Structure formats: C-alpha cells, structure tokens
Amino acid sequence: MHLELKTLDDAFSAAQADAQSLIAGLTETQAAWRPNPSAWSISECLDHLAITNRIYLVTMQPVADDVRRQNKMRRRPALPGFFGAKFVASLEPPSKMKSKSPQSIRPRATLTLADAFSTFLASHIDAQNFLRANADLDLAAIRFQNPFIKFLRFSLATGLHAIPAHERRHLHQARAVLTASQAKPT
C-alpha cells in the first residue's frame, strides 16, 4: 500500500479505536446525556457519523464503479488538492467553525448506545473497506458531487480524507460531552 493510503488507513483504524475507547463502560444514561437541549449526546454523535458516512459512500461508490470500468487506475498520490485539503482541515477538531448539519444527517432522536455504536462501526468499516477496495484507482483525479453542498465537486481522495477527519471532530465532541457529564453536579 502506498504511504498516503497507509496513513489514511491508519487514520481510519485510529478513529475506530478512539470510538471504542470512548464508549467502553458507558451506561445508556451517560450515552444519552446532553450538556444542553441543543447539544448532541454521545449516542447522537455516533449516529450522525454513521448517517454521514453512509451518504458519502452511497455517493462515492457509483463513481468509483464507473471509473473502474473505464480503467482509470492510480497515476498520482491519493491526496486532496488545495481546496479539498482546506475542507478536510476545517473538519478537524477542535472545531473552529460551527455549522448546522443538514436535516438528512441529523441523528435520530431515540436510539440506544449499542445501536448507535453498531451503525457507526458498520459505516466506518464500510468506508475503510471502500478505501482498500479502490486504492488502485486514481482517487485524486476522480470527482464526485458533494452530497451536502451540491455545487461542490470533490475528488474521491478528498472524500476519503474527510471521513476520518469528520469522525475525529465528532468523537472529540463526544469526549467533551462525556467530560461535561462527569463534571456536572450530582
């Protein structure tokens, strides 16, 4: 595996390990707690990531399938371009930019921690498998329409780098919720 793909694959593995350590020993009450009514709980952060990952993959997969049929194989490193790199960097924690999530990726109101984590983990593994299955394509050259910002087109490399960055952002948010729950007066 090429170095940038190995680094990206390692980022996926690290996000999975972080999520597993985050939820280790959590109760349903802890996972559902919100620091304020407009904030997300830990379970909701995980659900948001699962929904977002799935939508990205549903958008990216047909593009990858199409270019595979066209035999557009790797010619350059799978790295985001200038604007793609800026987008990915904007997702990294701690978040400097607040934005309201589109309705399509808002978490479900009622869900268990087990359900939130299992759907997150499944979507996360699917994203990592997408990377591994398509590592031989020219990911930096292949473009897809961003599913949330319709006028933007990203390379598959940007999309693949955005997924673990977005996961790090919301796992950081979930850790802050956990810290706040442990600091609240009883």
Q: What is the pLDDT along the chain (186 residues), one digit of tens a residue?
A: 799 999 999 999 999 999 999 999 999 999 999 999 989 999 999 999 999 999 999 999 999 999 999 999 999 999 999 999 999 999 999 876 667 776 777 888 778 999 999 999 999 999 999 999 999 999 999 999 999 888 999 999 999 999 999 999 999 999 999 999 888 765
Q: How far apart are CA 181 and CA 150, in angstroms?
A: 37
Fold observed for domain 3-24+34-183: Four Helix Bundle (Hemerythrin (Met), subunit A) (1.20.120)
Domain ranges of the chain: 3-24+34-183
Q: How far apart are CA 129 and CA 123, in angstroms?
A: 10
The pLDDT assigned to 109 comes to: 76
In 10 A of CB 68, how many CB atoms? Answer: 15
Q: How far apart are CA 126 and CA 22, in angstroms?
A: 20
The pLDDT assigned to 111 comes to: 87
